[in-house]
Amino acid sequence: MQYDIQHISEITKATALLHNKNTVIEHLATDSRRIAFPATTLFFALVTERRDGHAYIAELCERGISNFIVDHSFDNTPFTEANFLVVKNTLLALQTLAAYHRQQFAYQVIGITGSNGKTIVKEWLYQLLSPDYTIIRSPRSYNSQIGVPLSVWQMSAENNLAIFEAGISKPGEMEALANIIQPTIGLLTNIGEPHSDGFASPQQKLEEKLLLFTNTPIIFGRETDMHSCSHQFKTSQQIITWGNAAGNACVIQAIEKAQLTTIINLVYHGHHHQINIPFTDDASIENIIHCWCISTQLGVAASTLQTRINQLQPVDMRLQLVHAINNCTVINDSYSFDITSLSVALDFLAQQQQQTNRTVIISDIPATSSERDAYLQVIEMLKARNIHTLITIGEHWMAFESLLQQSFPLLQQYISTDAFISQFNASHFKNEAILLKGGRVFGFEKIVLLLEKKVHQTLMEINLTAIAHNLKEYRSQLARHVKMMVMVKAFAYGSGSAEIAGLLQFHKVDYLGVAYADEGVELRKAGIHLPIMVMNVDEAAFSAITEYNLEPELFSFPIFNAFLQFLQQQGVTKYPVHIKLDTGMHRLGFEAADIPQLQHLLAHNQYMIVQSVFSHLAASEDPNEDAFTQFQAAQFDESCKALEATLGYSFIQHISNSAAIFRNHQLQYNMVRLGIGLYGVESANTNQVALQTVTTLKTTIAQLRQVPTGETIGYNRRGKTTRPSTIATIRIGYADGFSRRLGNGVGKVYINGQLAPVIGSVCMDMTMIDVTDVPQIQEGDTVEIFGKHLPVQQIASWCQTIPYEILTTISQRVKRVYVEE
């Protein structure tokens, strides 16, 4: 559906400053990095605590964007060829436009809220109902104040059912989302612990979430949640609850779990049903009941539902990025296929800077009411992202061969996934980023196996969404003018320097920090153009530093003079450098007594520009050392003032590390350095921190064996069974970074919901675990070494070390998998 710019002006009650009154808008954008169709995009300049969208308007105009919604603070005078709609609040304008758009459609809209399961239920409903309906749904978990209007904007006359989820983090947010979604069917999944921080109590959280359904005719939910808020419902609303009590519309009579399946016996509106589901965990059972009730309400027969439930699979709501053959990277997003999720995946592909060539392997599009238009839309999306190689799989793409040949430098077409596999040649894929996007029935996981590097089953999973969340948490602590340098030294604390740097560049951090010049060189080769400070500089690195535009830390007179001489020899002037001061760490840096000589060297120095002066706090995380922290800051202030007086210009000043960002707000100066805190490890132990787990180290069970009492396990017979025992050998050892200090019962791992101790010594490639007390254990089961259930801090404690060491000693032979939720 299209709107002309004047109509949008009327809807949002904007003051219109129009250069071209005939402009037609098809796309909305709030992120300057995610714009594919400039000519028909309307950009909303949103203002948040850390970012002001108005700051990107000049850049966007250069990229061909000419339609903007701005607030009264923006001066549009220099932009004479663009359309501007001026409003009081740009976020409210976005929500108002989306709400108006929603009102144009009379078909059923399912609104989902709750603490857990929203996205899974949405995706399963889509799978269960898509044979009967043409569905538009929220992409991934677009359920926020911004995500919901962008989701609803995708509604069109081609659809006859919509499914949207709504999430809130504090009171007062749901009214806006309810006005946008206007659900005709409501579902409350459940009320649990997630996202409780912004609410005074679980009851308040429940009441706020139920505001989504203020005007919803039919509402579904668990009896335990719905009955406690019965006062919020109107007599005209139909409340359909499920639970064990006889008064529910859906009475759960029995749940019988087998090894891989569960049987649910229930009575729904007086009729008995038995549901067999291919899951055994409680969350999946609950989610299936939600889906069964709503699907039945929408007229799907019980027998048909059973057939479709049998075909359900666990929904992986994450993009996965893995290293692949011949210096390629693979982005696996093949759990489902729709236009909106394709756009999200293409944005993620564009974010990867390691390879310049981009390849998309794409399946036929699930059936739509206007099939040809859908294919043409996908082709335009791919062209807009400058895709070099397109590989299509499926019969329907064959009809577009001529158009595809005109649109892409390289085209390959296959009738099926098996046809692609039969002709697969690994040498055809080199130095490229490859996105796999296909419907589940096409089995693209077989293609992933062909493209992946062949490594053993131990892997480190790095959650890019958690990194973005943690970055936001730290940014929320900063004053508006304060810049941020993020440390990506030591392979980004074991997480992978290029991948993490690419994400940080996407999120517009100001600086990166590395330990050695070769780390910076690798980042430049991977397409990172942010300023990079090199902390440990020697003369052998000077050429690489200047060749790759890296910025050295100068910490002593010998290194200062050597780099100065190098610049003079090369005829390089005004090269950016960073001056390190030692204020009490006593590791590297100029001391207070060195400042006069340093002033002399810097005075009238045409070869160097001091980009920053900084120091390192020795104990910022420790309240007992706050006096020493303040002593360091006082020394730092005095030296900076002296250097600034000599130079005659201002420079960046920074002393705060991760812990100090939270604990010492007064020491932010005009930049801070974020290190291990980005990766979810905070040493300050402050209640202000709401960090997410970034890194999960996993392996699998290679073999199980039954060992009698009194037998010994492993090298030197150091492990001994004291009872008949089940011993699991797992695929990780000290060569992977699983420390020998964890042997002989010191360390534990997490398997099937509980901890199991190491027995015997840790071997180079394998470790033995006592799993006698672990239920339903099987060979091939996943084992968490550290992660969400077993924090890396606990591993460090068992090893009598710090999390830094645990993370940075994970071997390079351990496969890194990057996920974005």
Residue range 449-464: mean pLDDT, rounded: 82
**690 in any annotated domain:** no
Is residue 579 predicted with pLDDT exceeding 90?
A: yes
**459 in any annotated domain:** no
Q: Specify the DSSP element, H or E, that contains 595.
A: helix 595-602
Residue 590 and residue 597: Cα distance in Å, rounded?
A: 10
Residue range 402-415: mean pLDDT, rounded: 95
Determine the 3-state secondary structure of 747 from DSSP: coil
Instruction: Catalogue the E-assigned strands of 499-595.
Output: 511-514, 532-534, 551-554, 575-580
Looking up residue 306, the CATH number of its domain turns out to be 3.40.1190.10
Is residue 807 predicted with pLDDT exceeding 50?
A: yes
More confident residue, 282 or 608: 608
Is residue 193 predicted with pLDDT exceeding 70?
A: no
Number of CB atoms found within 10 A of residue 790's CB: 18
Determine the 3-state secondary structure of 361 from DSSP: strand
Q: Which domain holds residue 68?
A: 3-96
For 330-353, write each residue's pLDDT tens digit: 998 876 677 777 888 888 888 777
Statement to judge: residues 84 and 165 lie in one domain = no
Q: In which band, very low, low, confident or very high, does the pLDDT at 684 lie, cut at 50, 70 and 90? A: low
> DSSP characters for 604-637?
T-SSEEEEEEE---SSTT-GGGHHHHHHHHHHHH
Statement to judge: residues 327 and 306 lie in one domain = no
Pairing mode, strands 357-363 and 161-165: unpaired
Q: What's the pLDDT score for residue 457?
A: 79
Q: What's the pLDDT score for residue 343?
A: 84
**466 in any annotated domain:** no
Statement to judge: residues 718 and 624 lie in one domain = no
**Residue 349 and residue 331 in contact, taking contact as beta carbons nearer than 8 Å:** yes
Looking up residue 573, the CATH number of its domain turns out to be 3.20.20.10
Statement to judge: residues 259 and 359 lie in one domain = no
Q: What's the pLDDT score for residue 49?
A: 75
* Cβ neighbourhood burial of 266 (10 Å; 0-12, 13-18, 19+): buried
**225 in any annotated domain:** yes
Is residue 633 predicted with pLDDT exceeding 50?
A: yes
Q: Which residues on neighbouring strands pair with residue 729, listed in sequence order?
A: 703, 768
Give residue 116's region: left, alpha or beta (phi > 0; psi -120 to 50). Answer: beta
Residues above pLDDT 70, as percent of the chain: 96
pTM of the predicted protein model: 0.76
Statement to judge: residues 495 and 636 lie in one domain = yes
**289 in any annotated domain:** yes
Statement to judge: residues 192 and 266 lie in one domain = yes
Which among 820, 786, 817 is positioned nearest to 349, based on CA atoms?
820
* Cβ neighbourhood burial of 221 (10 Å; 0-12, 13-18, 19+): buried
Q: What's the pLDDT score for residue 235?
A: 85
Statement to judge: residues 111 and 248 lie in one domain = yes
Statement to judge: residues 495 and 559 lie in one domain = yes
Which among 677, 708, 353 is positioned nearest to 524, based on CA atoms?
353
**9 in any annotated domain:** yes
Residue range 543-558: mean pLDDT, rounded: 95
**469 in any annotated domain:** no
Is residue 687 predicted with pLDDT exceeding 70?
A: no
Statement to judge: residues 51 and 117 lie in one domain = no
Is residue 195 predicted with pLDDT exceeding 50?
A: no
**Average per-residue pLDDT in the chain?**
91
Answer with the one of 96, 125, 144 that is the final residue of a domain: 96
More confident residue, 483 or 604: 483
Is residue 688 predicted with pLDDT exceeding 60?
A: no
Residue 750 and residue 769: Cα distance in Å, rounded?
A: 10
Q: What's the pLDDT score for residue 361?
A: 96
Statement to judge: residues 134 and 267 lie in one domain = yes
Answer with the one of 644, 679, 714 that is the final residue of a domain: 679
Is residue 530 predicted with pLDDT exceeding 60?
A: yes
Binding-site residues: 587, 764
Q: What's the pLDDT score for residue 796?
A: 94
More confident residue, 766 or 324: 766
Statement to judge: residues 555 and 654 lie in one domain = yes
Is residue 701 predicted with pLDDT exceeding 50?
A: yes
Q: Residues with catalytic annotation?
A: 489, 715
For 275-305, write each residue's pLDDT tens digit: 999 988 888 999 999 999 999 999 999 999 9
Q: Residue 224 corresponds to which tokens in the numbers above? A: 């335990």
For 767-779, write each residue's pLDDT tens digit: 999 999 998 899 9
Looking up residue 355, the CATH number of its domain turns out to be 3.90.190.20
Answer with the one of 679, 714, 744 that is the final residue of a domain: 679
Binding-site residues for substrate: 587, 764
The one-letter code for the residue type at 530 is L
The one-letter code for the residue type at 499 is E
Residue range 123-131: mean pLDDT, rounded: 92
Q: Domains in the chain: how many in total?
A: 5
Statement to judge: residues 586 and 544 lie in one domain = yes
**462 in any annotated domain:** no
> DSSP characters for 274-327?
EEEES--SHHHHHHHHHHHHHHHHTT--HHHHHHHHHT------SEEEEEEGGG
Looking up residue 57, the CATH number of its domain turns out to be 3.40.1390.10
